[in-house]
Amino acid sequence: MKTRKQTGLALLMLLAIGTAAHAASHHVSPATMNKNTRELFQQSMAMDDMFYDPDVKLVRSPSPSPRRTATRSAYHMVRESSWYALGLLVRDEQGDRQRAADIIDAVLKQQYVKQGMPWYGTYRRAPEEKDPAPDAVMWRGFDPNWRTFIGTTFEIILIEYPERISPELSKRMYEAIDRAIEGEIAEKRLLPSYSNIALMYGALWDFAATHDKRDDWKQQSKDWTEAVYKLYKQYGAFFEYNSPTYCGVDIYGLALWRNYGSTPRMRSIGSEMEAGMWRDLAALYQPDLRNLSGPYDRAYGMDMESYVSVVGVWMRTVLDEKRAPLAPIGPTTDHMPDVWFAPHIAVLGTHIPADALKQMNTFSGERLVRQQITDDRVATAWIGKHVIFGGESTRKTKDAGMGSQFHPATIQWRTPSGEIGFVQLVEAPAIDATADKDGITISTTGNVRIRIHAKGLAREKVAAASWELPGLKVAVTSDNKNFTEDKTGDDVYLVYSGISSMRWEITPGE
- Distance, CA of 48 to CA of 64 (rounded, Å): 17
Closest C-alpha to 345, from 456, 256, 431? 256
Which domains are seen in the chain, by residue range? 4-360 (1.50.10), 368-508 (no CATH)
For the ranges 14-18, 64-68, 297-301, 314-318, the lowest mean pLDDT is seen at 14-18
Average pLDDT over residues 412-438: 97
Other Cβ atoms closer than 10 A to 5:
8
What pLDDT is attached to residue 64?
63
Is residue 157 pLDDT above 90, yes or no?
A: yes
Contact assessment for residue 163 and residue 126, using Cβ atoms and an 8 Å cutoff: no
What string of H, E and C letters represents the secondary structure of 194-254? CHHHHHHHHHHHHHHHHHHCCHHHHHHHHHHHHHHHHHHHHHCCCCCCCCCCHHHHHHHHH
Stated pTM of the model: 0.94
pLDDT category at 109 given cuts 50, 70, 90 is very high
3-state secondary structure 151-209: HHHHHHHHHHCHHHCCHHHHHHHHHHHHHHHHHHHHHCCCCCCCHHHHHHHHHHHHHHH
Average pLDDT over residues 218-227: 98
pLDDT over threshold 60, residue 104: yes
Residue 27's pLDDT is 86
CA gyration radius, the chain? 24
Residue 84: in which H helix or E strand, if any?
Answer: helix 78-91
Q: What percent of the chain has pLDDT over 70?
A: 93
Per-residue pLDDT for 3 more than 60? no
Residue pair 425/381 in contact (Cβ under 8 Å)? The answer is no
Q: Inform me whether the pLDDT recorded for 311 exceeds 80.
A: yes
Strand pairing report for 482-488 and 491-508:
antiparallel
Q: What is the mean pLDDT of residues 38-46?
A: 98
Q: Are 285 and 359 in contact (CB under 8 A)?
A: yes
| pLDDT tens readout for residues 173-207 | 999 999 999 999 999 999 999 999 999 999 999 99
Residue 26 pLDDT class (50, 70, 90 cuts) = confident
pLDDT for 5 beyond 60: no
What percent of the chain is helix, strand and coil (3-state, nearest 5)? 40, 20, 35
pLDDT tops 50 at residue 10: no
Q: What is the pLDDT of residue 305?
A: 97
Please tell me the distance from the alpha carbon of residue 159 to that of residue 198, in angstroms, as a whole number: 21
Question: Cis peptide leading into 66, omega within 30 of 0?
Answer: no
44-77: pLDDT as tens digits? 999 999 999 999 999 999 976 544 443 334 699 9
**pLDDT bracket for residue 428 (50, 70, 90):** very high
- Residue 7's pLDDT band (boundaries 50, 70, 90)? very low
Opening angle at CA 455, ends 468 and 473, nearest 5? 20
Q: Show the CA angle centred on residue 350, arms to residues 347 and 355, nearest 5°.
A: 170
Residue 110 C-alpha from the chain's centroid = 23
Rounded to whole angstroms, the Cα distance separating 127 from 148 reads 18
Q: What whole-number distance in Å separates Cα of residue 340 and Cα of residue 394?
A: 34
Q: Rounded CA gap, 74 and 462, in Å?
A: 41
Mean pLDDT of 430-450: 98
Residues 6+ apart with CB under 8 A from 31: none
Please give the pLDDT value at position 261. Answer: 98
Q: What is the pLDDT of residue 247?
A: 97
pLDDT-above-90 percentage for the chain: 90
Query: Alpha-carbon distance 138 to 131, whole Å?
Result: 13
- Residue 9 pLDDT more than 60? no
Tell me: pLDDT of 19 over 50: no
The tens digit of pLDDT for each residue in 244-296 reads: 999 999 999 999 999 999 999 999 999 999 999 999 999 999 999 999 999 99
The mean pLDDT value for 355-383 works out to 97
Answer for the pair 471, 484: CB distance below 8 angstroms, yes or no. Answer: no
What is the SS3 assignment for 338? helix
